[in-house]
Structure 1
Amino acid sequence: MRLLAVSVCLLAAAVLGTQVADNQFQDFVNKFGKNYANEKEAQLRRSIFLSNYVKMIEHNKKYDAGEVSWWMTINEDSDLTQDEWSEKRLGGVPSVAPGTKMEDVILPEVMDKIAKQGPPPKEWNWVSAGKVSAVKNQGQCGSCACFSATGAIESCFMISANDNAAGDLSEQHLLDCGFGHVVNDASGSWQAYGCDGAWPNVYMDYVKGAWNHEEFSYPYTSGSSGTHGACRSDDGGVHSKAYVTGYQNQWGANEANLEALLQYGPVATNIKATGGWQGYGGGVLYDGECCNAASDPNCVYAVNHSVLVVGYGNEGGYDYWLIKNSWSSGWGESGYIKLYKGTGHCGVAYSQQALPTCAVGYP
């Protein structure tokens, strides 16, 4: 490791200059409030940061030359190796064996509303409509499915209640109280495992016909602890503006289906996040490490992260899905990513499409 750190620092110094390299690392430490245990740890993190920084510079040269459609930036995870980053951010979707068939749940009310609206428009954006809650940070807990499900429910509440302030629900409540909840269908059982992952529909099923806690009364703590806690009640924080009545859940669908569902509301889905996601800064991500589900049937069995699709559009001639992530607003484009649309890139849309339905009031 010592030789690696020295070689990385020499490379960074050659590319950046020693003083610039030192300044960039110190700026990173100050911006993100990094505190390392000792000097040895600090030097290790410095070498990893500089390696990622040089990688960013080389990639962004390609972006400036028009060779790639997205650029990289520095974020709070820039002092982590790709393996460390993967351990921290990914693995929130339980694996299933290739060939596993899952049972769909199709709601007539959803399909009827979509049919009445006609063909999907060329572009769509729930963020611009004010129906998407603030970006949050799952931290080191594998709770991405909880965040994507909660985000979908928050948007559902805003849309059904016609109230842009009807969101901000508690992920910790779902993690703690929904732990162990099981959804049984013809293909098997799907369970919530807290910080060890879940499928978004399991959390939607857990709160169906029941109440949700608001964030202020049951704040998120698993981001630093890396584990769920004991379920607790707080009647002072029960959400009363809307509730979940059901959910539509489709497996192995496609992007055309996702485009149609988005007319009803934001949709939770699963993707395969690869190395390019770690340093993503903006633009339309097309990562050579990602599989394309439209041509690779095994892509859907490699998903490792749940996200919320909130729209779609075109930028620079590239069609994209607008996706709300759960790695803080300091990641990507203020917490969002534009993911290449048209090939099921990174498995988007083909693994799962989960959409809650809601009603105004208290169940």
Structure 2
Amino acid sequence: MKTTMAELNVALIVIVCAISTGARAIQNPFTDKFINQINSRQNSWKAGRNFPLHTSNKFIKNLAGTIKDAYLPKLPQMKHGDELIGSLPDNFDPRERWPNCPSLNDIRDQGACASCWAFGAVEAMTDRYCIHSNGTKQFHFSAQDLINCCETCGLGCIRGVHTAAWLYWKQVGLVSGGNYKTNDGCKSYKIPPGLNGTSNAPYFKETVDASQCVTTCDSNDIDYSQNKRHGKNAYSIDYNEDQIKLELFKNGPLEGVMAVYTDFLSYKTGVYNQTQGHILGHHAVKILGWGVENGHKYWLVANSWNQHWGDEGFFKILRGVNHCGIEDSVVAGEPIIV
């Protein structure tokens, strides 16, 4: 039986419509069906609702804003001796080792700004400033200052380069600054937080312009130039599980970059293992420690999507297999304590 051209055209239209319908179905990762599929296909982690059902695609894309860059090979590489490897604990949580550093418990909120590259950096810098002062000094490094003023870092709220952030800290320095509307430090964060949870309140759909570098503090009582603190150095960590563990154990949290898939948006507890969905982009995070849960080795990580996301803002991800690329672009540095 011969098929006419008209029939072929109809068939093609049906196929295209079917593909389009399927594409639309996977564009929303917050449906109960998608979440249930994640939980049915693996048992190492649990998915649940972190975002309203109709969160805008533009907001979701802003959650992963790090550009994997060419700076990493140019950074000096930190290599620790292996004499401590055998004595490292099976589980390491820096909040227990350095209890006088409260920033280790902090979860920040980047809001509708693709600034994770900056947040992962200033969060680790803040922790390290306290750790390297033996818990005697606190300095909350400003994400806003880094987003506004680091011209080599990228495009502020559009996308950025995490390695350049550490070089800027060393070469130029950063001022202090609290979270949104806290008025703490020199320059607090100007982008409103996202609205997580089960409410139907809309997310901020537009990116806030954070491109202007202002070299004055929010308060006249603080001098911008005198408030700056610098890094002694900036370096990468060898793509090696033991080297990353040694750096965490000796010097504190560091910044890594992972590929974010749509299933990760619904992470609640357990050891994340990418299960389904499509890639959204690359996301910078603060890696704190490590451990083992139900036989699964993991990295302990702080996110920057506020404390209502995931496990009170934290998550665990498979360790030792470079899952989602989290182990191949790790950077850090030591602070100059003033």
TM exceeding 0.5:
yes
1:248 Cα deviation after fit: 1.5
After superposition, give the CA deviation of every residue in 1:62-117 in whole Å (9 maximum; x if it has no partner).
38xxx421111222354337x55642312x122559xx98223135xxx56x6675
Q: Give 1:353's aligned residue.
A: 330
What SS does structure 1 have at the residue aligned with 2:246? helix
Is contact 1:326-1:335 (8 Å) kept? Answer: yes
Given residue 212 of structure 1, which amino acid in structure 2 is its aligned partner? V
Distance 1:290 1:57, change over 3 A: closer
- How much does 1:195 deviate? 1.3
Q: How far has the Cα of 1:314 moved from its partner?
A: 0.8
Shift of residue 124, structure 1, vs aligned partner: 1.3
1:168: how far off?
2.6
CA distance in 1, matches of 2:143, 2:243: 27
Does residue 340 (structure 1) correspond to residue 332 (structure 2)? The answer is: no
SS of 1:208 mapped into structure 2:
helix
Give 1:127's aligned residue: 95
Matched, 1:214 2:177: yes
CA RMSD of aligned residues (A): 3.6
Answer 1 or 2: higher relative contact order, Cα 8 Å, separation at least 6.
Answer: 2
Q: Runs of 5+ in structure 2 lacking a partner?
A: 1-17, 22-27, 179-183, 193-203
1:174-185 matches, within 5 Å, as 174-178=146-150, 180-181=151-152
Q: Is 1:195–2:169 an aligned residue pair? A: no
Letter aligned with residue 126 of structure 1: P
Whether the 8 Å contact between 1:265 and 1:355 is mirrored in structure 2 is no
1:285 to 272, 283, 294: 272
In 2: Cα distance, 1:152 partner to 1:206 partner: 14
1:139-184 C-alpha deviation (Å, 9 max, x unpaired): 1211001000001100111101223761432111111111x13xxx
- Note the residue ranges of structure 1 that are not aligned, 5 or more in a row: 8-47, 182-190, 292-298
Q: Could you tell me the TM-score, scaled by structure 1's length?
A: 0.68
Pairing of 1:88-167 with structure 2 (within 5 A): 88-90=62-64, 92-95=65-68, 102-106=73-77, 111=79, 117=84, 119=86, 120-128=88-96, 129-130=98-99, 131=101, 132-163=104-135, 166-167=138-139
Q: Is contact 1:309-1:322 (8 Å) kept?
A: yes
Contact 2:175–2:229 at 8 Å: present in 1 too? no
- Aligned match for 1:80, one of 55, 61, 69: 55
> In 2 relative to 1, CA 78–284 (structure 1 residues): closer, same or farther, beyond 3 Å?
farther
Normalised by the length of structure 2, the TM-score is 0.73
Q: Is the 8 A contact 2:38 2:276 kept in 1?
A: no
Provide the C-alpha distance between the structure 2 equivalents of 1:96 and 1:248, rounded to a whole number of angstroms: 14
Q: How many pairs were matched up?
A: 286
User: Would the aligned equivalents of 2:144 and 2:177 in 1 still touch at CA under 8 Å?
Assistant: no
1:248 equivalent in structure 2: 235
Question: Residue 240 of structure 1: CA displacement?
Answer: 5.9
